[in-house]
Amino acid sequence: MPASPPRNLITGGAGFVGSHLVDRLIEAGEEVICLDNFFTGRKANVAQWIGHPRFELIRHDVTEPIRLEVDRIWHLACPASPVHYQHNPIKTAKTSFLGTYNMLGLARRVGARLLLASTSEVYGDPEVHPQPESYRGCVNTIGIRSCYDEGKRIAETLCFDYRRMHGVEIRVARIFNTYGPRMLPDDGRVVSNFIVQALKGQPLTLYGDGSQTRSFCYVDDLVEGLIRLMNGGHTGPMNIGNPGEFTIRQLAELVRARINPDLPLTCQPLPADDPLQRQPVIELAQRELGWQPTVPLEQGLEPTIAYFREMLNR
């Protein structure tokens, strides 16, 4: 009998990052179960695979246990945009804690390897710049971002305790700001906000004076990094991000130069606990996975703008 293809469970698979991962794994000949509660995910993101013999879509909330026979669990389920994760912060914390607990329980029962989509937010508002994996972070435990930041920190802790106690094979990716097609237009994240505002001819909203920095990774680069991490021998935590650092004002300039250079930039209040700077050290990923991003921001903005242009014209 020919060997059967690997069976993948992708939680949050109908979301922005998850749906790109679904594409890659199906195209590689693997089986994919996409599990999502559709809080911020959309069926349209995976519609191209509905009816495909190696694809299944399950509506399920990861805060409830589930039994499935799989080899690999890509645990991405969790809203990622501050607007969405702050909408119901208690639910966000539950999703991170109970969701990761349930998925680790499943991994233990069926002997699957689990990759956790953690985040650069575990570094909080960092006093160390750029951020290596050894930096332990500066997170406010009681602020409006804490449900997400602390949720991901306990999710990482659970992964390493399941590894130590039960020998579960884990991989932990600390993902830095990622952008690309299939972000929601009303997502509230800065790349989608600026592009949608510019396409609608509206002023671009800088929170604060726009001097805070982020490092933006194109989604295809991120997915390649996640696949290499899952397939490799290093547990992480491993930073996966693009070290190209930009101020938010620079990002606004890049976006409006491509869409409408005459648009004004307006300043709005900086949200509480908004990190001042963020840039990954990616030496570990370079050394262990032979991975580094290949798409500079200026290049990745083009397909992202094209995606939103088409979406708004529909």
Return the active site residues: 148
Please tell me the distance from the alpha carbon of residue 69 to that of residue 64, in angstroms, as a whole number. 17
* Contact string 126-165 vs ligand UDP (x = CB under 6 A): ----------------------------------------
193 binds ligand UDP (CB under 6 A): yes
Least distance to ligand NAD, CB of residue 216, Å: 9
According to CB under 6 A, which residues from 26 to 85 bind ligand NAD? 36-41, 61-63, 76-80
Closer residue to ligand NAD (CB): 153 or 263 = 153
Q: What is the spatial distance between Cα 182 and Cα 260, in angstroms, rounded to a whole number?
A: 22
Cα–Cα distance, 71 to 112 (Å, whole number): 5
Among 75, 189, 228, 256, binds ligand UDP (CB under 6 A): 189
Interface pick for ligand UDP out of 190, 227, 297, 305 (rule CB under 6 A): 190
Q: Which is nearer to ligand NAD, 162 or 216 (CB)?
A: 216
Residue 162: its H or E element? helix 146-166
**Rounded Cα distance, 131 and 239, in Å:** 9
- Phi and psi angles of residue 194, each rounded to the nearest 5 degrees, phi first: -65, -40
With CB under 6 A as the contact rule, the residue among 177, 178, 215, 242 that binds ligand UDP is: 177
Mask 203-242, x = binds ligand UDP (CB under 6 A)?
--xxx----x-x----------------------------
Quote the distance between the C-alpha of residue 187 and its chain's center.
13
Quote the CA–CA distance of 215 and 208 in Å, as a whole number: 18
Q: Are 193 and 250 in contact (CB under 8 A)?
A: no
Q: What strand order describes the sheet that includes 72-75?
A: 55-59, 31-36, 7-11, 72-75, 113-119, 170-175, 238-240
d(CA 284, CA 299): 25
208 exposure class (CB count in 10 Å sphere: 0-12, 13-18, 19+): middle
* Residue 207, binding choice from ligand NAD, ligand UDP, none, Cβ under 5 to 8 Å by partner class: ligand UDP
Binding partner of 117, given ligand NAD, ligand UDP, none, CB within 5-8 angstroms per partner class:
ligand NAD
**Region from 59-67, 166-174, 187-195, 256-264 binding ligand UDP, contact rule CB under 6 A:** 187-195
Q: Residue 171: which of ligand NAD, ligand UDP, none does it interact with, CB under 5 to 8 A by kind?
A: none
Please report the DSSP string for 94-124 in residue order: HHHHHHHHHHHHHHHHHT-EEEEEEEGGGGB
Q: How far is the CB of 174 from ligand NAD (least distance, A)?
A: 8
Residues near ligand NAD (CB under 6 A) are 11-12, 14-18, 36-41, 61-63, 76-80, 95, 99, 117, 119, 175, 177-178
- Binding interface with ligand UDP (CB under 6 A): 81-82, 177, 189-190, 193, 205-207, 212, 214, 248, 271, 274
